[in-house]
C-alpha cells in the first residue's frame, strides 16, 4: 500500500445501521475536506481513524497509514494526530510542560528542552515556556495545542472544526500555519469543517457526506 492515509471501503455502522461510507486515499501533504450537515457522522469518521469509536459503532473495511494496516491497532499506537475546536491546554502546567506532554518518550533532558524551545520558535512564541496558559490569547493557545500535537510526530493529521473558535483573521493565520506544517512534514490531512473558506484554503478534494 502507498504512503499516506487510505480509507479502503470504510463503512461505519451505528447499532447495525449504515452511517458513513468512504473510500478515499489522501497522499502525503494533501488535504481532504469533509463537509456535511450536523449529525451526519463527520466526527464519527475521525473517531474510526483514531480508533476511538463509541460503543454501538462499528467500522468495516480497512484503514492504512503509510503502508500499514492500522484498522485493529490500539489508539495510542496509531500515530494519528487530531486537533479539535478549543483544544484545551492543561491549566496546571506551564506552556513548556504542555508541549513536553506531546513529546514522544526518549531523548536526554537537554535534547527534550531544546526541542521544546525549537517548537516555541516555530510557532512564533520564543521564550513563552514558563508562561501560564491562562495568560495566552486564544490564537496563542491554538498554536501551542497544534505544536503539542505535532511534537508527538503523528503520521497523519485530523482536524475537527479545529479553527472554529477563532475570529476571521486568526482563523486564516492558523489555517496557514497548520497547512504549511502539514505540507513540510508531508502529512496527509483530513479536515472536517462547516466553513467554505476553510475548504477553499485547503485546496484539495471536498467530500460531502449526507
Ligand X SMILES: Nc1ncnc2c1ncn2[C@@H]1O[C@H](COP(=O)(O)OP(=O)(O)OP(=O)(O)O)[C@@H](O)[C@H]1O
> What are 5's strand-pairing partners?
26, 65
- For ligand X, the closer CB: 38 or 108: 38
Among 39, 67, 124, 127, binds ligand X (CB under 6 A): 39
Per-residue contact track with ligand X, 47 to 86, x per CB under 6 A? -------x--------------------------------
- Angle, CA 144 vertex, CA 71 and CA 184 arms, to 5°: 60
Q: How far is the CB of 87 from ligand X (least distance, A)?
A: 15
Q: Does 140 bind ligand X (CB under 6 A)?
A: no
- For ligand X, the closer CB: 48 or 100: 48
CB 140 within 8 A of CB 125: yes
- For ligand X, the closer CB: 33 or 140: 33
Q: Does 108 bind ligand X (CB under 6 A)?
A: no
- For ligand X, the closer CB: 54 or 134: 54
Per-residue contact track with ligand X, 17 to 36, x per CB under 6 A? -------------------x
Among 15, 16, 38, 109, binds ligand X (CB under 6 A): 38
Among 13, 44, 145, CA closest to 85: 145
Among 4, 28, 41, 51, binds ligand X (CB under 6 A): 41
Would you state the cell numbers that stand for residue 135, as one nine-digit string?
495568560
Q: How far is the CB of 38 from ligand X (least distance, A)?
A: 3
| Alpha-carbon distances, residue 97 vs 59, 88, 90, 112, 143 (angstroms) | 36, 14, 9, 11, 15
Among 156, 167, 166, 163, CA closest to 201: 163
Among 131, 124, 99, CA closest to 113: 99
Would you state the cell numbers that stand for residue 131, as one nine-digit string?
508562561
**Helix or strand run (H / E) with residue 189:** strand 189-192
CB 123 within 8 A of CB 177: yes
- For ligand X, the closer CB: 30 or 161: 161
Residues that bind ligand X (CB under 6 A): 14, 36, 38-44, 54
Amino acid at each position: 500500500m502507498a504512503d499516506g492515509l487510505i480509507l479502503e471501503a470504510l463503512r461505519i455502522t451505528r447499532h447495525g445501521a449504515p452511517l458513513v461510507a468512504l473510500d478515499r486515499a489522501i497522499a502525503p501533504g494533501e488535504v481532504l475536506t469533509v463537509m456535511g450537515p450536523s449529525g451526519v457522522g463527520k466526527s464519527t469518521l475521525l473517531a474510526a481513524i483514531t480508533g476511538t469509536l463509541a460503543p454501538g459503532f462499528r467500522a468495516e473495511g480497512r484503514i492504512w497509514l503509510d503502508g500499514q494496516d492500522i484498522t485493529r491497532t490500539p489508539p495510542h499506537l496509531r500515530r494519528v494526530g487530531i486537533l479539535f475546536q478549543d483544544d484545551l491546554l492543561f491549566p496546571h502546567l506551564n506552556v513548556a510542560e504542555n508541549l513536553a506532554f506531546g513529546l514522544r518518550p526518549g531523548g536526554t533532558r537537554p535534547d527534550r528542552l531544546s526541542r521544546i524551545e525549537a517548537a516555541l520558535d516555530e510557532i512564533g512564541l520564543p521564550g513563552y515556556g514558563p508562561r501560564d496558559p491562562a495568560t495566552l490569547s486564544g490564537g496563542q493557545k491554538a498554536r501551542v495545542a497544534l505544536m503539542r500535537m505535532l511534537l508527538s510526530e503523528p503520521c497523519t493529521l485530523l482536524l475537527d472544526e479545529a479553527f472554529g473558535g477563532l475570529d476571521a483573521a486568526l482563523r486564516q493565520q492558523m489555517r496557514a500555519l497548520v497547512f504549511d506544517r502539514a505540507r513540510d512534514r508531508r502529512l496527509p490531512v483530513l479536515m472536517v469543517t462547516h466553513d467554505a473558506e476553510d475548504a477553499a484554503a485547503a485546496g484539495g478534494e471536498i467530500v460531502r457526506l449526507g
